[in-house]
Chains A and B, each alone.
Chain A
């Protein structure tokens, strides 16, 4: 018996929905079901297109199959909506005719598809953004932190934020922002594994500097529950832990910002040795007001500003992240105490390729399917 658009199917592993169902009911109904058929009453019945996108957005990761008297011309669009498989139930279907098909450029972000392709407007924006950042980088080569931040806020006002770990060197950047653009959003990733001293220090510093726009980013509770229920993922897979607790929450929050202020400096060494004041990571502009400062100049600024310092610096910590992956370092101001024993010195938030992989990790899943019904044509 069908009710509310849910047609119970005897097989335990499959559920069939029609376009009559409300998205909320559909989201509840599909939980834990490995495969969902969305039935189209005719090829003009466009409801299933939206329904698929909403199920994907709600986190449904199983197989979505479009079933009904659909047209071949609709297959590409159905896939963009999040369907894995299209089952065309039309014996007389005019095969091979493609209407919308296979275009490389897309005017819209894929509403429900896992590919997360950039839409035309984003492709174009990124091209312009990159060129502009290069111009600004040339203009600000060797400039003072104040000058760099002034240029950046004039250009990117309203879509710029500062990322702060409230670690050993955070105070300087925060003081600079407080001085020049105090309403700039300060993004803090509360990984759940910070030193308690970091959290205390965060509150103290915000208050001291008069910054009010703190935005705390946390890993999604359901993802923590699924991937790191014991809170000890760092023991077995440090990269995965950073993905869960830093890269993904940040990727979600960053959609609102086209430019980020960082505290990176050339003297950090490694990949940062060539840092420009204004750089481009493939998607976003990175503002590095302190890029050109020497370690001594940073120390002098601290001294002149008389800022509160992270309490752990006294204990020999030079760069401070989450407690499991931070150790004291020999050299002050270096990152040698980070991820000791792992072959890396970055968490991955500054690696756009990794950020993109992480962003779609929640949505992508390849599923093996087999032909199941004679007389129906399936396009996977």
Chain B
């Protein structure tokens, strides 16, 4: 993985030192909260319902074991012993004291991490496939490009005061696991007819209160011109995006207002003016950054068939094929029955770091499904790994299953939320496991957002729940048919809103319909397309 050089270190150190000064000014009263706000937001510090929240960037979801141990240390020393992994592959600490945050950032800087631009109307952490560099179906590794975009977008002088926040996702595989259709910019690495690697470019996707699927505005861009093209898109957006209404400020609104063709023409005109110059990535720099992401060496195959109880089921669900012989990808779902999706305690972090050192080339990923992934596990170590994970409640066999629920923090933490999404997720999870439904149902995604901002990605869930406030009551809207990856789709509302208890039952009922009626190997959306919404409606509303 990428290692900071002196330039990277100097930049993060300087920023950390500046923020310490700003925090001191706030603590001494030299800065008011209003004045401090834009400064803290640039550094990932939010003010939540009960306390400050610190969101730490995990660049494109890639962590070393050393970095994960530092995250554990921070959780233990400065927080309440745990952290929360987000749908954007970051980690949030919910209880840090402001006075400690500069020290936390120093610890992070020591292991090549930061919290820069995890908030504010800036270019946020670029996200990617959690299996990048390991996936069997990969055209090209997206991580070097994620790193180049990370550097280009960090402390960008022009794009730090955008109309609204800005999210970029890159996938290197035909099977999109990065949800590029619902990002401000979605990039797909492809191979041209001449065999050259470049990008297919999608713009204007997003969730929130106006869910939109991104439009493709360019079939092929030579890879060296990526930063020039991104600059052109951002420049058009920065100048023309709406700033009068917070809810109309994302690029998706601009692309829709201009029309994708007209928007694309404006971008192309600007691109012509900036291409082939200082933004063209030098061949040497591509080589330098790519060298950090070399393919792992071959592993060893299993010699004896594993006999541990529960191993086969775990292997069938949580282990994925790797591109290199003797290696596998292991998903570590943070979704044990009744747990808060995405929460991980410090001991678990340390354990996963140790396991990564022992069996997986010291590398860990965070997925947008709020799970951890060991991307390069030696096949011969799978049984030992399973046993150790199982002992720490980290071997629940539910990757991509119904109980692999995605949820935002909701009203338990967030001051935007209308509803408590976590308890709802916990009840659904318990119910799925106790009823045995989780084991029999095929792949289905359940995602829960506690408010219209859709951090829980409910729009693109097969079964989505959105918590809204209706006359002081927490009410949940149920949507069906959303898809995050590949051919992204927005789910449709099934019927009237439900209270929390009814919403839990409704989700279970939908999973049951799917489990009972799906043809062998059928995806949820296929079953839904074949049968229509009627059987689901009947199961939920009894009509």
Interface: B295 (CB within 8 A): no
Chain A nearest CB from B162 CB (Å) reads 6
Contacting B158 at CB < 8 Å: which of A49, A94, A105, A123?
A49
Interface: B387 (CB within 8 A): no
Per-residue CB contact flags for chain B residues 281-295 toward chain A (1 = under 8 Å, else 0) read 111110110000000
| A53-79 with Cβ < 8 A to chain B | 53-54, 57, 71, 73-74, 76-78
Q: How far is the CA of A53 from the CA of B239 in the complex (A)?
A: 12
Interface: A367 (CB within 8 A): no
Contacting A73 at CB < 8 Å: which of B8, B39, B273?
B39
Chain A nearest CB from B42 CB (Å) reads 6
| B224-239 with Cβ < 8 A to chain A | 231, 235, 238-239
Complex interface: chain B residues within 8 A of A122 (CB): 278, 282, 285
Q: How far is the CA of A101 from the CA of B19 in the complex (A)?
A: 11
Interface: A299 (CB within 8 A): no
Contact B239 A51 (CB under 8 A): yes
Chain A to chain B: the 9 pairs with minimum beta-carbon distance, closest first: A46-B161, A125-B282, A109-B278, A77-B157, A125-B284, A80-B157, A128-B284, A105-B7, A121-B285
Contact B158 A103 (CB under 8 A): no
Q: How far is the CA of A199 from the CA of B49 in the complex (A)?
A: 76
Complex interface: chain A residues within 8 A of B159 (CB): 46, 49
Binds A, one of B10-18, B54-62, B102-110, B339-347: B10-18
Contact B157 A108 (CB under 8 A): yes
Per-residue CB contact flags for chain A residues 28-54 toward chain B (1 = under 8 Å, else 0) read 000000000000000111110111011
Chain A residue with Cβ nearest B277 = A255
Contacting B18 at CB < 8 Å: which of A80, A101, A109?
A101
Contacting A256 at CB < 8 Å: which of B10, B18, B276?
B276
Complex interface: chain A residues within 8 A of B18 (CB): 98-101
Complex interface: chain B residues within 8 A of A103 (CB): 10-11, 14, 155
A258 with B282, Cβ < 8 A, contacts A23-B239, A124-B5 known: yes
Interface: B516 (CB within 8 A): no
Q: How far is the CA of A376 from the CA of B155 in the complex (A)?
A: 27
Interface: A129 (CB within 8 A): yes
A73-B38, A99-B19, A100-B15 given; 9 more Cβ-contact pairs under 8 Å: A47-B239, A57-B273, A80-B157, A98-B18, A98-B21, A108-B157, A123-B7, A124-B7, A159-B283
Contact B281 A50 (CB under 8 A): no
Interface: B258 (CB within 8 A): no
Chain A nearest CB from B149 CB (Å) reads 10
Contact A100 B238 (CB under 8 A): no
Interface: B434 (CB within 8 A): no
Contact B284 A49 (CB under 8 A): no
Interface: A110 (CB within 8 A): yes
Complex interface: chain A residues within 8 A of B243 (CB): 44-45, 47
Chain B residue with Cβ nearest A51 = B239
Interface: A119 (CB within 8 A): yes
Complex interface: chain A residues within 8 A of B121 (CB): 44, 46
11 contacts between A and B (CB under 8 A): A46-B158, A47-B238, A49-B157, A49-B158, A97-B35, A100-B157, A105-B11, A107-B155, A110-B157, A255-B277, A258-B283
Interface: A104 (CB within 8 A): yes
| B153-208 with Cβ < 8 A to chain A | 154-163
Per-residue CB contact flags for chain B residues 6-44 toward chain A (1 = under 8 Å, else 0) read 011011001100110110010000111001001100100
A71 with B38, Cβ < 8 A, contacts A53-B158, A119-B278 known: yes
Q: How far is the CA of A105 from the CA of B15 in the complex (A)?
A: 12
Contact A121 B158 (CB under 8 A): no
Chain B nearest CB from A72 CB (Å) reads 11
Per-residue CB contact flags for chain B residues 267-284 toward chain A (1 = under 8 Å, else 0) read 000000100111111111
Chain B nearest CB from A47 CB (Å) reads 6
Chain A residue with Cβ nearest B120 = A44
Chain A residue with Cβ nearest B279 = A109
Contact B277 A99 (CB under 8 A): no
Contact B157 A111 (CB under 8 A): yes
Q: How far is the CA of A107 from the CA of B42 in the complex (A)?
A: 17
Chain B residue with Cβ nearest A79 = B157
Contacting B282 at CB < 8 Å: which of A51, A76, A102, A121?
A121
Interface: B247 (CB within 8 A): no
Contact B238 A121 (CB under 8 A): no
Most A CB contacts (10 A, CB to CB) among B19, B121, B235, B285 go to B285
Q: How far is the CA of A323 from the CA of B492 in the complex (A)?
A: 76
Interface: A276 (CB within 8 A): no
Contact A120 B278 (CB under 8 A): no
Interface: A187 (CB within 8 A): no
Interface: A81 (CB within 8 A): yes
Contact A43 B155 (CB under 8 A): no
Q: How far is the CA of A111 from the CA of B285 in the complex (A)?
A: 20
Complex interface: chain B residues within 8 A of A101 (CB): 18
The chain B residues found within 8 Å of chain A, CB to CB, are: 5, 7-8, 10-11, 14-15, 18-19, 21-22, 25, 30-32, 35, 38-39, 42, 121, 148, 151-152, 154-163, 231, 235, 238-239, 243, 273, 276-285, 287-288
Complex interface: chain B residues within 8 A of A255 (CB): 276-278, 280
Chain A nearest CB from B122 CB (Å) reads 10
Complex interface: chain B residues within 8 A of A22 (CB): 239
Chain A nearest CB from B282 CB (Å) reads 3
Chain A residue with Cβ nearest B35 = A94
Chain A residue with Cβ nearest B196 = A158
Contacting A50 at CB < 8 Å: which of B8, B25, B158?
B158
Q: How far is the CA of A275 from the CA of B30 in the complex (A)?
A: 61
Complex interface: chain A residues within 8 A of B287 (CB): 128
Per-residue CB contact flags for chain A residues 202-233 toward chain B (1 = under 8 Å, else 0) read 00000000000000000000000000000000
Chain B nearest CB from A285 CB (Å) reads 11
Q: How far is the CA of A161 from the CA of B121 in the complex (A)?
A: 42
Complex interface: chain A residues within 8 A of B156 (CB): 107-108
Complex interface: chain A residues within 8 A of B277 (CB): 109, 255
Contact B282 A45 (CB under 8 A): no
Contact B276 A94 (CB under 8 A): no
Complex interface: chain B residues within 8 A of A23 (CB): 239
Q: How far is the CA of A80 from the CA of B159 in the complex (A)?
A: 12
Contact B238 A50 (CB under 8 A): yes
Contact A97 B7 (CB under 8 A): no
Contact B39 A99 (CB under 8 A): yes
Chain B nearest CB from A337 CB (Å) reads 36
Chain B nearest CB from A24 CB (Å) reads 10
Per-residue CB contact flags for chain A residues 328-356 toward chain B (1 = under 8 Å, else 0) read 00000000000000000000000000000
Contact B161 A107 (CB under 8 A): no
Complex interface: chain B residues within 8 A of A73 (CB): 38-39
Complex interface: chain B residues within 8 A of A77 (CB): 157-158, 160
Q: How far is the CA of A123 from the CA of B276 in the complex (A)?
A: 17
Chain B nearest CB from A208 CB (Å) reads 30
Chain A residue with Cβ nearest B13 = A103
Contact A81 B284 (CB under 8 A): no
Complex interface: chain B residues within 8 A of A99 (CB): 18-19, 22, 39, 42
Q: How far is the CA of A132 from the CA of B151 in the complex (A)?
A: 24
Complex interface: chain B residues within 8 A of A43 (CB): 38, 161
Most B CB contacts (10 A, CB to CB) among A46, A98, A121 go to A121
Chain B nearest CB from A225 CB (Å) reads 22
Q: How far is the CA of A123 from the CA of B38 in the complex (A)?
A: 31
Chain A nearest CB from B181 CB (Å) reads 27
Complex interface: chain B residues within 8 A of A19 (CB): 239
Per-residue CB contact flags for chain A residues 114-146 toward chain B (1 = under 8 Å, else 0) read 000001111111001100100000000000000
Complex interface: chain A residues within 8 A of B42 (CB): 99
Chain A nearest CB from B72 CB (Å) reads 29
Contact B282 A97 (CB under 8 A): no
